[in-house]
Structure 1
Amino acid sequence: MVIRVALVNDYEVVVHGLDTMLRSYRDTVAVVELDAGTTVGESVDIAMYDTFANPRGDREEIRRLTANPRVGKVAVYSWNLDPSLVTAALSSGASGYLSKALPAGELAAALTAVHDGVQVRPARAEGRTSAIVGGDWPGREEGLSAREAEVLALITRGLSNQQIADRAHLSINSVKTYIRSCYRRIGVSNRTHAVLWGIEHGFRPTRQPGSER
């Protein structure tokens, strides 16, 4: 049996990157829909919600997906493995919480486990700072790491440093460090130029935060 999966995120490059990552496992996991800023329209076994630019995990989005009659189960895909976020996502209706440190084969196996009724949680040993293995994100071709790109996406959305720290479960000093490294990589010296760069390079989501799908 092939598991039918929809990939969900507000950034087109993210869902297409995940689709590419799973392409070698189509005999097990078939990505039948890519949802960037739209609701799941086909009947799928699993909606896989990538938390890029929503690092806390969007509980309302999880509830919306679980309430969709076309969706069998919901799996959250994130680099932020804070136990409180994992618990909150599962309490909101997700059937699994999958780490971005998983190689493609292990990710496909985890999706299979979710489909089979296993409540998949990240292994404790992975830790919150595990390297991100697959998928894609805006700015990757410019040398931005996934976490730098996420911080830049939140800057582009107009969030303050403190709001980014709260949303990403980072210290304010860590946020400032990511911002400085972002600036170096993209060749800007201030926030205004960083926002303009972000707008020009795909850091605006397909759907604006707070709008209905």
Structure 2
Amino acid sequence: MNDYEVVVFGLARMFEGYADRVRIVELSASVTPEEPVDVAMYDTFAGAQADGDGLREAIEESNANRVVVYTWNLDAALVDAALAQGARGYLAKSLPAAELVAALERVRDGEIVVSDTPDRAVTVGGDWPGRAEGLTNREAEVIALITQGLSNHEIAVQTHLSINSVKSYIRTAYRKMGVTSRSQAVLWGVEHGFRPDRRRVTFAGPGAAAT
């Protein structure tokens, strides 16, 4: 569950070699899968973190038997908040596909699984807007939030980063993007897929075409 098409389709590509173990039912930009699923993955990219209402709503309103958080942010307080709200797992985006699939299977079987993998600077799997243009996952997330209209302070609160870290990510991202102002950054973001996508994509089964 994430508002960015490139994020959810990147995750789908990670699972292509595991069709005998993982069936993707839906890639959703909203919080409620339309048919029951064993496990729903709540991706925090440019969205509410695990201590916000978004996760609680996903857990309470989802048709998923279990919900796990899938994130770059392994802050201990966020892990505790997610589990307290009822998440059954907190999985790092640095997990290779094989380990991610194994973790999801453990969650499906009733375990609570929390990644102990360090939150690395470079993600092993998955995708994000701006990756092809050289943006890191953190830079991309900050630009996505700028494109959504958030202030630096709001970005810091939402991402659990310091305001100085946010400004640093903005500076490095701007250099890569070739922009010098916030308005230029917003326009660049709109042109490069940084606006949330509300489309729902469902799958009839492994290898099925998107609809």
Residue in structure 1 matched with residue 77 of structure 2 by the alignment: 84
CA shift, 1:176, in A, is: 1.1
State the partner residue of 1:179.
Answer: 170
Q: Which residue of 1 aligns with 2:127?
A: 136
Give per-residue Cα distances to partners, 1:55-101, cap 9 Å, x unaligned.
62363222222223621100110000001101111111110000001
Deviations 1:146-185 (A, max 9, x none): 1110000011111111221121111222111110111111
Q: Does 1:106 align with 2:99?
A: yes
CA offset at residue 41 of structure 1? 0.4
Within 5 Å, which residues of 2 pair with 1:1-213? Answer: 8-37=1-30, 39-54=32-47, 56-57=49-50, 59-68=52-61, 70-123=63-116, 126-207=117-198
Q: What is the rounded CA distance, in whole Å, between the counterparts of 2:59 and 2:115 in structure 1?
A: 20
The TM-score, its normalising length taken from structure 1, stands at 0.87
Contact 2:94 2:119 in 1 (8 A): no
Of stretches 39-48 and 127-136 in structure 1, the one that deviates more from structure 2 is 127-136
Instruction: Tell me the SS of whatever aligns to 1:88.
Output: helix
Higher mean C-alpha deviation, range 102-111 or range 135-144: 135-144
- The secondary structure found in structure 2 opposite 1:97 is strand
Secondary structure at the counterpart of residue 36 of structure 1: coil
Cα distance in 1 for residues equivalent to 2:167 and 2:108: 40
Q: Assess if the C-alpha contact under 8 Å between 2:69 and 2:91 holds in 1.
A: yes
Q: Kindly state the Cα deviation for residue 206 of structure 1 after the two structures are TM-superposed.
A: 2.1
TM-score after normalising by structure 2 = 0.88
Bigger relative contact order, structure 1 or 2, given CA contacts below 8 A and separation 6+?
Answer: 2
CA distance in 1, matches of 2:126, 2:160: 22
Equivalent in the alignment of 1:5: none
**Distance change (3 Å), C-alpha of 1:149 and 1:121:** same
> Please, which runs of 5 or more residues in structure 1 have no aligned partner?
1-7, 208-213
Deviation at 1:201, TM superposition (A): 1.1
Question: Can you list the C-alpha shifts for 1:108-129, whole angstroms capped at 9, x where unaligned?
Answer: 0110111111111121xx3344
